[in-house]
Amino acid sequence: MGLTAGIVGLPNVGKSTLFNAITKAGALAANYPFATIDPNVGVVEVPDERLDKLTELVQPKKTVSTIFEFTDIAGIVKGASRGEGLGNKFLSHIREVDAIVQVVRAFDDDNVTHIDETIDPIRDIETINLELIFADIEVIEKRIPKIEKKAVLNVDQESVFEYKTLKWILGTLMDNKPIRTLKFNENELALIKNFNFLTQKTMLYVANISEDEIADFDNNDYVKKIKEFAAKEGSDVVVISAKIEAELGELEDDEKEMFLEELGIVETGLEKLIKRSYKLLGLETYFTAGPQEVRAWTFKKGMKAPKCAGIIHSDFEKGFIRAETIAYDDYIKYNGELGARDAGKSRSEGKEYIVKDGDVLLFRFNV
């Protein structure tokens, strides 16, 4: 399972520049609204030093990283939920992603126009968030009349439950609060899953600052405001310079290290973005390692071994017998599978085993 994220933002906040930098997909970046007319999808490999070390140790024929899929969605403007600008066509693309990455302008530059003429990151965030809220309200208002009569007359309990839940959510949205601020039980989550609400999705704000502020971004007043806003709704903020990311995208690995060192930063914006997204979505990584292939697999924290096996192939889950398990640190320390087994660090885990981040697994199954 790869991670999918939709990159949204007002026109000219650096959204497509960031997308170009991290995917090298060449989306049109222009200094006017609606430069991106069709959604652009780019796939990047998730950087993981553990995968590199496993490859070095095992020397497989090939190495496969887990992936992060970005969809660059055209700049949303006020009124998008009612069809303004490029409107609902683009809101619909956001429904297909796991997380929303909202790029917010946190820099001053007279050469880059702003759709509202002045720089105000909180106003920009609220513009985007309101459009997402309006879109969710529309979904609920279309559904409620279809179940209202049955619910009011208490004809069946499913309608009563759905009506009550949707009215509760609607009240939250009408207060201009996203659905992700609510706490749901299992039954409520099962009910709303198919609605694919936009404001239920994990939101990660990306503060795009100028390149000369990247080493000392905590002093950026725009960044401070964005972080305060995000904290109130339980979201997170990653600070990047899209311009720097664009420059890094043109460099070889050894040149990147030198460039980052000169700037006084230890990791790229892409690396920060992926790590933070994984944490917010509760994602972790396990590995499979053998002479043919060393591979990273993304899974949901808390998943049991059979479900993780099913990520590779459904037959692995159906016929699951056990998972031969070695912790990553032990795998490296004892020089691979044989060494770890001789040291007593290889375990045979059953169906109830909860897979841990970094586990090196070999699934035994029979179909």
Report pLDDT digits (tens) over 126-179.
999 998 999 899 999 999 999 999 998 988 899 999 999 999 999 999 999 999
What percentage of the chain has pLDDT greater than the value 90? 53
With the C-alpha atoms ordered 366, 331, 302, 206, is the resulting torsion angle positive or negative?
Answer: negative
Per DSSP, 185 falls in state -
Choice between 9 and 329, residue whose per-residue pLDDT is larger: 329
Give the separation between CA 75 and CA 70, rounded to whole angstroms: 15
* pLDDT of the residue at 84: 46
Task: Quickly state the pLDDT bin for 85 (edges 50, 70, 90).
Answer: very low
Q: Which helix (H) or strand (E) holds 55?
A: helix 49-58
Does the structure show a pLDDT above 90 at 289? yes
Distance between alpha carbon 341 and the CA centroid of its chain, in Å? 36
* pLDDT of the residue at 12: 80
| pLDDT per residue as tens digits for the range 27-82 | 445 454 444 445 577 888 888 999 999 999 999 999 999 888 888 876 555 554 45
Geometric angle at alpha carbon 296, from 186 and 61, rounded to 5° = 155
Give the separation between CA 145 and CA 147, rounded to whole angstroms: 6
Give the separation between CA 167 and CA 162, rounded to whole angstroms: 8
What is the distance in angstroms between the CA of the first residue and the CA of the last residue of the chain? 22
22 with 245: CB under 8 angstroms?
A: yes
How far are the Cα atoms of 18, 117, 167 from residue 218, in angstroms, in the given order? 20, 25, 41
* pLDDT of the residue at 38: 53
